[in-house]
Amino acid sequence: MRKYFSVFLVAVRSTMYKIMGILILMAAAETILFWIQLKGIESGIPLSLEELVRISRISLVSGAAFLAVCCILSLVGYEMSGSRTRYTIQRLSVKEEAVVLLWALNSMIALCIFWAAQLGIVLLLSKIYIDFLEPVSFNRQTIFLAFHRSGFLHSLLPLEETSRVLRNVAMIFGLGIAAACFAQKQRQGQKGIAIMVLTALTVVTFSGDMGKLGTDIGIIAAFLAAAVFSVYSIFRTEANKE
Amino acid sequence: MLEIKNLNKSYIGKQALTQVDLKLEAGEIIGLFGENGAGKSTLMKCILGYLQYQGQILLDGEAVTRKNIARLSFATSEHSFFPNLTAGAHKDFYEMHFPDFREKRFRGLMEFFDLSFQKPLKSFSTGQKNQFEVILALCQGADYILMDEPFAGNDIFNREDFYKVLIGILEPKETVLLSTHLLEEVENFIGRAVLIRHGQIVGDVSMTELEEEGKTLVGYVKETYQYKADRVSRALSDLTDEA
């Protein structure tokens, strides 16, 4: 177990600080943009929370941060700076399939942290919004309604829309495996494009409106198919080497 | 003992190794010499299981598998570490993964070569990367340490320091197979020289034998390769005539 944990930690160490840095930058950028817009409405008619989130371009910042995170996760074990990491990986007492799966697990955890951090930031900004407004300008359901009306906010916190929760889980699962496979493919002289396709798909479809069950099912199917194919390719490649 | 029996390796359309038989006894320091493309790296990669091959490679009578692979370590000028990680993170990783990791030796060598524990390895110079690559191989706790041109890019002082340190720290059961072109530099440091040419072992001699015969390593290599001393002058003469 210690050997597996040591391999897992390689991925954690390669990504943790960089992802933390991105999250801090993302939080700072989103807060500043939100605050600028919030100050702008001081003398005018108060905007709704979802409108304020929209004009603050928070989803854009989030998308950029998400791309950066996916990039960092894909580079774990990637051969660069003239180093051939395959020579170390193939010399471990843990099989390369296990190495890839452990690094996929790290990617999934990192993406969960990203999701949680983005949710935490928008909830905090919602609190700032409420504190900023006159008491007559909001009610108990202001935040709830904003998360109901905004596709971006709703997808971050889908509450009872199970299909959206499952879609997000499928996204994290698929992206995690595809990210780990990207470097594995490169080590074997191939190209792994699944992570790029899934990242683009996530950016394009993440902020979908609520109640789109068919779309959610389609996305779940696409991500699970990509994940299953990637896992299959990991084991197929290793079997061919044997 | 690491035993290589009737090893053959071919790439598409090219025979890289032909009927290689070699025994590496525990505690030996062996120099592996040959021209570029002679098969030195291929031989090492076969031993480590990076390449598929025909024949047998046995480590104390057993095939090299994941169960005993930790008994082999590898330092290459291509580098095998994780460039995004620091030296400290590598130490932690090796310590956890390889139960026989030599922590004291690692700290001593890091200090000796004045390498940073905190900087990512990608920020190291080529010479420092080579040093770190060799440090990892020496500290893994392996019985057989394979080094493929580990000092390419290091200056002469640096290399000499390394030879001295290496002789001083190796324990009796540790075996080193060192592939290099720097014949004169390692002459006094190795105990045995193996020559490979066109994928075949063409020479295998102990340094004691050479000494008794009054030969130098360079002389032995030239003799084995049937090096023609007048090759350069003839070529120059031809070229001059042509001009």
ipTM value, please give it: 0.86
On whether any CB of chain B is under 8 Å from the CB of A5, the answer is yes
- Whether residue A82 and residue B50 make contact (CB cut-off 8 A), yes or no, is no
- How far is it, in rounded angstroms, from Cα B181 to Cα B79? 18
Residue of B nearest to A241 (CA): B52
Q: CATH number of the domain that B163 lies in?
A: 3.40.50.300
pTM across the whole model: 0.87
On whether any CB of chain B is under 8 Å from the CB of A82, the answer is yes
Q: Which of A93, A95, A102, A103 to mutate: most B Cβ within 10 Å?
A: A93
Of A7, A84, A93, the CB nearest to B69: A93
- Whether residue A6 and residue B89 make contact (CB cut-off 8 A), yes or no, is no
Q: Considering only CA atoms, which of A207, A212, A220 is closest in space to residue A171?
A: A220
Strand partners, B197: B200
| A14 neighbourhood in chain B, CB within 8 Å | 82, 84-85
Tell me how many degrees the CA angle A69-A192-A197 measures, rounded to the nearest 5.
Answer: 60
Classify residue B66 by its DSSP letter: T
How many CB pairs below 8 A link A and B? 86
| A88 neighbourhood in chain B, CB within 8 Å | 80-82
- Whether residue B66 and residue A92 make contact (CB cut-off 8 A), yes or no, is yes
| B81 neighbourhood in chain A, CB within 8 Å | 83, 85, 88
Six token digits for residue B10? 């071919």
- Whether residue B78 and residue A84 make contact (CB cut-off 8 A), yes or no, is yes
How many domains, in total, are found in chain B? 1
Q: Per residue of chain B (243 residues), what is the pLDDT tens digit?
A: 999 999 999 988 889 999 999 999 999 999 999 988 899 999 999 999 999 999 999 999 999 998 999 999 999 999 999 999 999 999 999 999 999 999 999 999 999 999 999 999 999 998 899 999 999 999 999 999 999 988 877 788 878 888 888 888 999 999 999 998 888 888 888 999 999 999 999 999 999 999 999 989 999 988 888 777 777 777 778 777 755
Residue of B nearest to A95 (CA): B66
Q: How far is A171 from chain B (nearest CA, A)?
A: 26
- A144-to-A121, A154, A225 alpha-carbon distances in Å: 16, 9, 34
Q: What is the pLDDT of residue A240?
A: 65
- Whether residue A87 and residue B48 make contact (CB cut-off 8 A), yes or no, is yes
Burial A131-159 (b: 16+ CB within 10 A, else e): ebbeeeebeeebbeebbeebbbbbbbbbe
Stated as kind and residue range, the H or E segment containing B8 is strand B2-11
- Three-state SS at B76: strand
For chain A, which residues score pLDDT lower than 70? 42-44, 237-242
Q: Region of B182 please: left (phi>0), alpha (psi -120 to 50) or beta.
A: beta
Strand partners, B9: B17
- How far is it, in rounded angstroms, from Cα A89 to Cα A7? 9
- How far is it, in rounded angstroms, from Cα A125 to Cα B163? 62
On whether any CB of chain B is under 8 Å from the CB of A77, the answer is yes
Q: What is the pLDDT of residue A57?
A: 95
- Whether residue B76 and residue A6 make contact (CB cut-off 8 A), yes or no, is no
Of B74, B84, B129, the CB nearest to A14: B84
Ordered alpha helix ranges (H), chain B: 40-47, 87-97, 103-112, 126-139, 156-169, 183-186, 207-213, 217-224, 231-242
Q: Considering only CA atoms, which of B92, B94, B78 is closest in space to residue B136?
A: B94
| B66 neighbourhood in chain A, CB within 8 Å | 92-95
Quote the domain boundaries for residue B110. Answer: 2-242
Q: What is the pLDDT of residue A241?
A: 61
Q: Which of A13, A17, A237 to mutate: most B Cβ within 10 Å?
A: A13
- B118-to-A80, A203, B87, B104, B127 alpha-carbon distances in Å: 19, 35, 7, 18, 17
Of B50, B72, B80, the CB nearest to A83: B80
Orientation of helix A162-187 relative to helix A194-205, angle to 10°: 150
| B96 neighbourhood in chain A, CB within 8 Å | 2-3, 5-6, 9
Residue numbers of A between 84 and 103 with CB closer than 8 Å to B:
84-88, 90-95
Q: What is the pLDDT of residue B139?
A: 96
On whether any CB of chain B is under 8 Å from the CB of A135, the answer is no
